[in-house]
């Protein structure tokens, strides 16, 4: 292991400990009538936490080692939006998936009505986390974080991408249309994860712009790799049903570019992401660099 690898491993372990503790504190078991259990089941399940790590890595890139309440809250908020989207996506009227990260999906474990409500409540909770009333996050920062998250989660971003996805099952798509769909569906939340980390740390305009280029590249790379793994990995490794896109006749980067073409695309996007960091004036971009590599090299 290089010293950079060791530093990233230690940073990741520390960051994940913080995020898990914060989510466990903030996702309320006390919510009434089983809602809290369903919300916690959806969130506290050993996900990869890529989005929170991106948020904390971006904050660190801008502000160095200082630990910022706004960054930790942002990290948890983006994970809650991600978690709610998975709960709703898995429902019978959407992807009808029964397995997620190796466990029964929320609607299987708690029923469809509770899954619907738990997802709804997780989205609201994300905005609650961004607006603490304890003075730990300046109101102006709270407002900017809510603005960014609302736009990324809604019809401009994630929800809009899912609508495009829904409309194209079994239909051909151009590469441009596929990129647009994924830029919204997955990319918007990955981008805003980086953006909110940088906002939490008080990044200036040029830095925000460089980090946006980084985030756009890894956002798309993430989806390209997802499509590759859907055909190259097995369900046990993925922790979800492999081969699903093909079975559902969904357009993917692999169906469009071929496996080799998709793999080359992922490498190009990784280089784009690293180049964006080279161009920025950052305190410590080690974690962002390592995360870019891990997005492209992951096997699940």
Question: Out of 149, 189, 199, 276, which residue is the one contacting a second copy (CB under 8 A)?
Answer: 149
Give the DSSP per-residue string, 34-52: THHHHHHHHHSS----HHH
With contact defined as beta carbons under 8 Å apart, do 238 and 276 qualify?
A: no
Query: Are residues 54 and 76 in contact, defined by beta-carbon separation less than 8 angstroms?
Result: no
According to CB under 8 A, which residues from 80 to 119 bind a second copy?
A: 84-85, 88, 91, 93-94, 111-114, 116-117, 119
Helix axes of 69-89 and 158-167: crossing angle, nearest 10 degrees: 20
Task: Establish if 171 lies at the interface with a second copy (CB under 8 A).
Answer: no
Closest residue by Cα to residue 23 from 81, 95, 98: 81
Q: How far apart are CA 195 and CA 32, in angstroms?
A: 34
166 part of the interface to a second copy, by CB under 8 A? yes
Which of 7, 99, 108, 164 binds a second copy (CB under 8 A)? It is: 164
Kindly state the helix (H) or strand (E) to which residue 4 belongs, with its residue range: helix 3-26
Question: Which CB atom, from 38 or from 211, has the smaller least distance to a second copy?
Answer: 38
Could you say which of 4, 21, 143, 279 contacts a second copy (CB under 8 A)?
143
CB of 107 to a second copy, least distance (A): 8
- CA distances for 208 relative to 71, 77, 137, angstroms: 15, 19, 19
The reply to whether 128 sits near a second copy by the rule CB under 8 A is yes
Q: What x-and-dash track marks residues 22-61 binding a second copy by CB under 8 A?
A: ------x--xxxxxx--x----------------------
* Interface contacts to a second copy, rule CB under 8 A: 28, 31-36, 39, 84-85, 88, 91, 93-94, 111-114, 116-117, 119-121, 123-128, 130-131, 133, 139-140, 142-144, 146-147, 149-151, 153-156, 159-164, 166-168, 184
């Amino acid at each position: 292991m290089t010293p950079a690898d060791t530093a990233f491993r230690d940073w990741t372990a520390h960051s994940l400990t913080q995020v898990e503790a914060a989510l466990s504190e903030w996702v309320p078991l006390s919510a009434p009538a089983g809602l809290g259990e369903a919300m916690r089941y959806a969130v506290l399940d050993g996900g990869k936490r890529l989005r929170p790590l991106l948020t904390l890595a971006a904050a660190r890139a801008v502000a160095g080692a200082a630990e910022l309440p706004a960054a930790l809250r942002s990290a948890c908020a983006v994970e809650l939006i991600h978690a709610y989207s998975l709960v709703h996506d898995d429902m019978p009227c959407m992807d009808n998936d029964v397995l997620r990260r190796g466990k029964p999906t929320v609607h299987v474990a708690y029923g469809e009505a509770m899954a619907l409500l738990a997802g709804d409540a997780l989205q609201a909770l994300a905005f609650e986390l961004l607006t603490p009333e304890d003075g730990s996050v300046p109101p102006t920062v709270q407002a900017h974080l809510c603005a960014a998250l609302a736009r990324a989660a809604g019809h401009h971003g994630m929800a809009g991408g899912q609508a495009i996805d829904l409309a194209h099952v079994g239909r051909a798509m151009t590469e441009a249309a596929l990129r647009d769909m994924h830029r919204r569906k997955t990319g918007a939340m990955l981008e805003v994860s980086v953006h909110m980390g940088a906002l939490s740390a008080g990044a200036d305009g040029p830095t925000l712009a460089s980090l946006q280029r980084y985030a756009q590249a890894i956002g798309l790379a993430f989806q390209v790799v997802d499509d590759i793994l859907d055909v190259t990995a097995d369900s046990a490794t993925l922790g979800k049903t492999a081969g699903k896109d093909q079975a559902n006749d969904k357009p993917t980067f692999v169906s469009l570019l071929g496996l080799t073409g998709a793999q080359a695309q992922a490498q190009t996007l990784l280089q784009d992401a690293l180049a964006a960091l080279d161009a920025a004036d950052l305190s410590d971009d080690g974690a962002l660099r390592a995360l870019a590599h891990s997005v492209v090299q992951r096997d699940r």
